[in-house]
Structure 1
Amino acid sequence: MLDQLFRNMPPVVKNLLIINVLVFIVVRIAEWKGVDLVTLLALNHYSNEGFYPFQYVTSMFLHYDLFHLFANMLGLVSFGSNLERFIGPKKMLILYVVSGLAGNFFYHGFHMAELWFFGENIFNGTLDYERFIYNLNNGDNVELVSRIVMSKALGASGAVFGIFAGVYRYFPNTEVMLLFPPIPLKIKWLFAVLMIGSVVLSIYPFMMQGIAHMAHFGGGLAGLILVEIWQKDKTTFY
């Protein structure tokens, strides 16, 4: 059954799945050998000395653990397969990459606004070092600053949200069965809930800290804009 599912996957979804799984395996093997690829390839904060521009791309193919990988790949295969058959492999690849990049840019942009809001000095994309040290030594927003500056983002969630946006645009009334709770829900309502939830949880993380909610929103928004540009005949499928 799995073999048949894999053979029937469209090319872009299949290759993205393979790449993500292979990267996960390589990173874990390197970990066992004492080589930290996550710090190098994950998206570090732009004021962190470990930040490199290529991380906007490489972080899209990294995953924290097996569950993180499984969840994103399930979304890629479940929603991406039919979407690729509809829009074609070229647009599918563009949608995946653009949404993933947009998610990362939104993630950094949100943190920049967050630091600015709390009175940090940001110039040319970097924190003022003296101000940062002063805050660390004097307890002024220590938890916030250290959490943001030392944070690392990784995962294909932004790209998957962009794919989900495409499914929302072309197949809004298609019903999917949720896992928790196990009830059917139309794509258009599920997408709306996830997008709104991403914004709310970015501002008020509650118990879901450590998740780049704004990257989800940025990826979904970029995907939605992109498919709207592509959509010329305004055809909607049910």
Structure 2
Amino acid sequence: MNFRITPAVKNLLLINFGVYVLAVFIYYQYQVNINDYLGLHSFFSKSFQVYQFVTYMFMHEFVRDGQLVFGHVFFNMLALFFLGPILESRWGSKRFIFFYLFTGLGAGLSYWAVNAYEVYQLREAVSYYLEHPSPGEFAKLVTGFNRGLYRYWLESEQILEIFDEYPQNIEAIAWSKTKAMEIYEASTWFSMVGASGCVYGVLMGAGLIFPNTEVMLLFIPIPVKIKYIAIGLGVMELYHQVKDAPNDQVAHFAHLAGMAFAYILIRYWNRRRDVFY
């Protein structure tokens, strides 16, 4: 298959890189992080807006600990650059754009809904704990809900050690209640950015439509069939989602959701060949 950049993919690349440059400029010129406004926020956050379901997929992490980062947008767009034209050449630009946005919306909605449920559960658990503080209940709170908030998880582990030793200590109880509230507040800060859900959807689409097409791996120059790349990355994302490692800030569930929505849409199109093909 001869490679050529296609119109929709080219425009998506320009938009994503353009937004990245604009975000960097605004941040360093005006000290404003536009991801705080256009990233997808938690339902329980005051910053949540409905339009973020669309805008989040064109935003990317560009600064971390005050340092400029480029890897997030670069690797997403690199994958789109190589895989997108394969599907757009088959479907045409309009259907490819619809597919891209559909998987991105599906990924965003799924991750947002799961996060809303988890934060709601956490809020209920914190409310119960404030009324019934004990080392056992605090341990449930820390181990059950706080794995992704690494700093709070470590601090809570330290509090738990003291609380276990002095369960009736008024200061320890007050300290644990304060930390419980901090954990809840921190959970509402959730904000997701990036085209990864769309890109994983494109990967799944390419794996379903052109399973035996071979592409060259980036760092290991050997040809691999797209279906094996899709399966491998899907299994890897599932592993990381189940592992739920502390300080893992990657939205693995959104990646899996992007693949799932791609599968659903392609299956639907295949059943309606008289309309879509």
Q: For this structure pair, what is the TM-score category when the shorter chain's length is used for normalisation?
A: 0.7 to 0.9
Cα 1:62–1:231 change in 2 (3 A) is same
Kindly provide the CA deviation profile for residues 124-146 of structure 1, in whole angstroms up to 9, marking residues without a partner as x.
xxxx9x83995883544955x45
**1:225 matched to which residue of 2?**
264
Tell me which amino acid in the other structure corresponds to 1:59: Y
Secondary structure in 1 matching 2:227: helix
**Which blocks of at least 5 consecutive residues in structure 2 are unaligned?**
63-69, 131-140, 142-175
How many positions carry a matched residue from both structures? 219
Superimposed CA distance per residue, residues 156-182 of structure 1 (whole angstroms, 9 cap, x where no aligned partner):
000111111110111112233334666
Quickly say closer, same or farther: Cα 1:20–1:119, change in 2 above 3 A.
Answer: closer
| Correspondences of 1:109-188 after superposition (within 5 Å) | 109-115=113-119, 119-121=122-124, 131=127, 134=130, 137-140=177-180, 143=183, 145-179=184-218, 183-188=222-227
Distance, in Å, in 1 between the alignment partners of 2:208 and 2:105 is: 20
Structure-1 residue corresponding to 2:138: none
Listed as ranges, the gaps of 5+ residues in structure 1 are 122-127
Contact kept? 2:45, 2:188, Cα under 8 Å: yes
Q: Tell me, in whole angstroms, the C-alpha distance in 2 between the residues paired with 1:115 and 1:14.
A: 38
Helix, strand or coil for the counterpart of 2:71? helix
Residue 227 of structure 2 aligns to which amino acid in structure 1? K
For residue 52 of structure 1, the aligned residue among 49, 59, 81 is 49
Structure 1 residues 180-205: Cα deviation after superposition (integer angstroms, max 9, x where no partner): 66654322222122223323322323
Is the helix fraction higher in 1 or 2?
2
SS at match of 1:33: helix
Corresponding residue number in structure 1 for 2:7: 11
Instruction: Please provide the CA RMSD for this pair.
Output: 2.8
Match of 1:125 in 2: none
Task: Give the distance between the partners of 2:94 and 2:270, measured in 1 at CA.
Answer: 15
Partner secondary structure for residue 224 of structure 1: helix
Give the TM-score, by structure 2 length. 0.70
| Kept in 1: contact 2:119–2:188 (CA 8 A) | no
Name the amino acid aligned to 2:89. Answer: R
Q: Secondary structure at the match of 1:78?
A: helix
- Is residue 211 from structure 1 mapped to residue 250 from structure 2 by the alignment? yes
Aligned residue among 15, 22, 28 for 2:24: 28
**Offset at residue 110 of structure 1 (A):** 2.4
Contact 1:10 1:81 in 2 (8 A): yes
Checking the alignment, whether the CA contact within 8 Å between 1:201 and 1:208 is kept in structure 2 is: no
- Which has the larger Rg? 2
The match for 1:73 among 72, 77, 97 is: 77
CA distance in structure 2 between the partners assigned to 1:182 and 1:49 by the alignment = 47
Whole-Å separation in 2 of the counterparts to 1:137 and 1:45 = 23
Query: Would the aligned equivalents of 2:43 and 2:116 in 1 still touch at CA under 8 Å?
Result: no
Give the letter aligned to residue 82 of structure 2.
Answer: S
- Measured in 2, the distance between the counterparts of 1:132 and 1:20 equals 44
